[in-house]
Structure 1
């Protein structure tokens, strides 16, 4: 008698945020400040009790903002710094943008606002002879190539095939850690209403004069009914490389980086074949300019599609930006649209299934245009080993501080140990984040869009918060432009982690 094999759904998890090495959940900088302050207070008692009391009060004033955290893990000091930065931005007029013939961008151009204002767009050919665009950010010396994918989707696909896709996607992400000069990657899934232009063009191009009346009537009915309520889903992967100077060599030029990226793209696009990404091809300069133009002004989406069918739009990078944009504390207005961007503050906890983000990325009728972007920053093999080992040591240190909450601390130690073992077996270590951008056509629809995202996030097992005070930067980071946000801040990453 043949035995039956039972298939159990595969689960995923162990997403870890490295623990701090400070005392009682404090950061390293706050812990060092506390110890130094306590030593100063003890020494001050030898001089005067009043001097010691004043120092103790001052120590409390400095330490409390570093210790008090909200439910998203942000300290009072961080929130105060954001408020101060926003005040400086509004005082200098940095939250306003005007371009075009009457704007301030110069020469009547519609350049991108904010962090991407100085970006450059060039085009080259990869190893297969395919044209691809290179987005250059001079401030950081980064060069980005964008890959367009036609994702297959999981509808009517068995679980074994989905597990295979996820396994190959994890392997593809793991190889990014050994990709030469690659510093970041992003996956953007955008849903928008389908204008029906492509369907109309397809029917018109294939219609014949002697078609049966019933067939013509059926096609007319499809043409009038199908676009209503349907959605267009696009998936783009951005790969960002660093052109920083190497030992004994100057910073590499755009031409050098285009040659370097062009030799890597064939292998990277071929590796996506088994991940469910479908056909993966590099995007040209015109395609990227069109995508960015539509993101900043969704009202031109149908015009762009019509122009593509008649020979192309001919859009350049100087025409991809908005005519006007205005940022407020919690939203972003660009041309005729309004947007809010949220950032993930907590990854899915516990074990999850492969479809945990399905509801978040699929079309929603309450949000006209939705963009979900996963941001990746891979560690090299050496960096990954150092990070997981330090995280394991910090977890052990925190578990030994107190007997309260011992079960949770033991679970943290076990998870950190498991991560260390997986890294030693050759698995990659990668930092990731998530941005959600909801774009609507009027300010009245923002409330409904915000409520929809607030409902979708818990279903995806993540915690999100609006990117208050940085809506313009977050909007640009959610686009496939290759912006690495931690490198555009005033304080270095190491200083922020210490605080």
Structure 2
């Protein structure tokens, strides 16, 4: 019997445009404009002013080009100013409820999620679903509850097929034209054991022998001790058209397409179904108020509705610090993917990061994917390949190796797209939540090590913890709809 080869995968490289001398196109344009202005002033006899213009041009080029923590100096300055302004105006502290300024005393979600609405409908397969609607941006997000197969005992060939089907499903998002983003969120939290007991009770009949029922109950009690609960969902954000303030006709269009989207996920080893309004409200509230997890799990096991509306799922209090986000008796820290895997990897790459960790009770990993439209992606791939060829021919010897590697990546992207692949952008956010009296120091080191095991470089999102926390919840707000996360944090 022939052994099945374990395939390896690779990601592309961040898009960039190369200017003169290996500098970025933005730096080249600014330098060219400044130099031409300097020459004109020299011809007009204003040499001193020309020197000043040349110095200002060099300063601007440095500000927009020098990277600090993965961002340009200009973006860092913008973030520092935003953080100082919010602290000066006391906007880094959020209060809700009857004693707050929130209309009707609701406990609305903070920040960019405050203006969202919730609408419920029935899809073409007869299943209820709900959409988180951001009316100013005309974006609707539908959440799918997913059951991941995890480390199920399957053959390598079956794993390869599931991975390929996941890639085809992502590629299909580019063909629709109106899907803005997809976010896969996998969250682990302490379990109460009620869910395991419910599963055992459903599988054990009263007519079963006493010894068999006792063994099953003892096994359930043993397995539920310290066992974590894994909650996962997929958030699909659609661009919709509305004609008025009360227009929700987009729900019919989304409902017609939803069954095709979540039913095709079964080929990827993922069992998906649309989440009801009550389920979405419960999950969002548990993210911001983790001490309520036990109560929500008990209500779910007993089939009791919690009665919480979308206007009241937010925290009563939260505060943003430089590296920590405090909310309702807990505190969280969020990392972003500073660097994707630079080499090839297998399909189990993210297992250490997504799996449960003994010292991290609550952890949430959000993988965000934003597809390009099929035609737009083809143009970007060709432009990137042409730019890589220019860079390979113009780079100096010390940079020729990197330029050649980039050329190989872009050429491989062209071939993959010719076979049916599509272009998109990836990002990842990791959030850890602990009690207010716990120390984040050791946990911070654990997260960095988990990222290293997954061949990722993670970076704490300084001065953006509130926006980062909202993004990692997978409720529709993503940084790519803004020029940068600093712009999202400033909202």
Q: Report the TM-score, using the length of structure 2 for normalisation.
A: 0.92
Q: CA deviation at 1:462?
A: 1.6
Taking the aligned partners of 1:213 and 1:426, their CA distance within structure 2 comes to 58
Choose which of 236, 253, 257 in structure 2 pairs with 1:260.
Answer: 253
Aligned to 1:415: 409
| Matches for 1:425-444 after TM superposition, within 5 Å | 425-444=419-438
User: Which of residues 3, 8, 15 is equivalent to 2:5?
Assistant: 8
Aligned twin of 1:282: 274
* 5+ long unaligned stretches in structure 2: none
Q: Are 1:242 and 2:235 matched, yes or no?
A: no
For the residue of structure 2 that corresponds to 1:400, the secondary structure is helix
* Contact in 2 for aligned 1:113/1:321 (Cα 8 Å): yes
2-structure distance, mates of 1:489, 1:443:
36
Count of residue pairs brought into register by the alignment: 484
String of CA shifts for 1:120-140, please: whole Å, max 9, x gaps.
Answer: 011100001110011101221
Aligned to 1:59: 57
8 Å CA contact 1:15, 1:347 repeated in 2: no
Partner residue of 1:319 out of 299, 304, 312? 312
1:496 corresponds to? none
The counterpart of 2:171, out of the listed 159, 163, 174, is 174
For residue 220 of structure 1, report the CA deviation from its aligned partner. 5.9
Q: 1:294 — aligned with what? A: 286
Residue deviations 1:397-422 (CA, integer Å, cap 9, x gap):
22222332222211211211121222
Q: Is the 8 A contact 1:154 1:162 kept in 2?
A: no
SS of 1:255's partner is coil
1:211 Cα deviation from its structure 2 partner: 7.8
Gaps of 5+ in 1: 494-499
Q: Distance in 1 between matches of 2:486 and 2:290?
A: 35
1:153-164 → structure 2 map (5 Å cutoff): 153-164=150-161
Which residue in 1 is equivalent to 2:439?
445
* Aligned CA distance change for structure 1 residues 202 and 384 (closer, same or farther; 3 Å): closer
C-alpha spacing 1:399/1:198, structure 2 compared with 1 (3 Å): same
CA distance in 1, matches of 2:30, 2:119: 48
Deviation at 1:373, TM superposition (A): 0.7
- 1:160, distance to aligned residue in structure 2 (A): 1.1
Distance between the aligned counterparts of 2:278 and 2:228, measured in 1? 23
What's the offset of the Cα at 1:304?
0.6
Asked if 1:365 is matched to 2:364, the reply is: no
What does residue 130 of structure 1 align with? 127
Closer/same/farther in 2, CA of residues 205 and 73 from structure 1, 3 Å limit: closer
In 1, the alpha carbon distance for the partners of 2:96 and 2:343 equals 47
Listed one character per residue, the Cα deviations across residues 377-432 of structure 1 (whole Å, up to 9, x for unaligned) are 11111100111111112212222223322222112112111212222332111111
The residue matched to 2:481 in structure 1 has which SS? helix
Cross-structure match for 1:333: 326
Q: Residues 201-220 of structure 1: matches in 2 within 5 Å?
A: 201-202=198-199, 218=215
- Report matched runs for 1:30-45 at 5 Å: 30-45=27-42
Tell me whether 372-381 or 50-59 shows the greater mean CA deviation. 50-59
Aligned to 1:474: 468
2:108 is the alignment partner of 1:93? no
Equivalent position of 2:266 in the other structure: 273
Could you tell me how far 1:251 is from its partner in structure 2?
Answer: 6.8
Q: Matched residues in 2 for 1:260 and 1:268: separation? A: 13
**2:138 corresponds to which residue?**
141
- Residue 367 of structure 1: CA displacement? 1.4
Q: Which secondary structure state, in structure 2, belongs to the residue aligned with residue 176 of structure 1? A: helix
When residues 456 and 256 of structure 1 are mapped into structure 2, their CA distance, relative to the original with a 3 A threshold, is same
**How many Å apart are 1:334 and its aligned residue?**
0.8
Q: CA RMSD in A?
A: 2.4
Give the CA deviation at 1:93.
2.1
CA distance in 2, matches of 1:25, 1:74: 19
Distance 1:237 1:429, change over 3 A: same
Helix, strand or coil at the partner of 1:444:
coil
Equivalent pair of 1:379/1:429 in contact (CA under 8 Å)? yes
SS at match of 2:439: helix
User: Does the C-alpha gap of structure 1 residues 229 and 417 become closer, same or farther in structure 2, counting only changes over 3 Å?
Assistant: same
Task: Assess, with a 3 A threshold, how the Cα gap between structure 1 residues 473 and 228 changes in structure 2: closer, same or farther.
Answer: same
8 Å contact 2:479–2:485 — kept in the other structure? no
Greater displacement, 172-181 / 218-227: 218-227
Q: Describe the SS at the equivalent of 1:63.
A: helix
**Given that residues 65 and 72 in structure 2 are in contact (C-alpha distance below 8 angstroms), is that contact kept between their aligned partners in structure 1?**
yes
With structure 1 as the length reference, what TM-score do the two structures score?
Answer: 0.91
**Aligned 8 A contact 1:477 1:484 in 2:** yes
- Cα distance in 2 for partners of 1:483, 1:182 equals 13
Q: Does 1:424 align with 2:421?
A: no
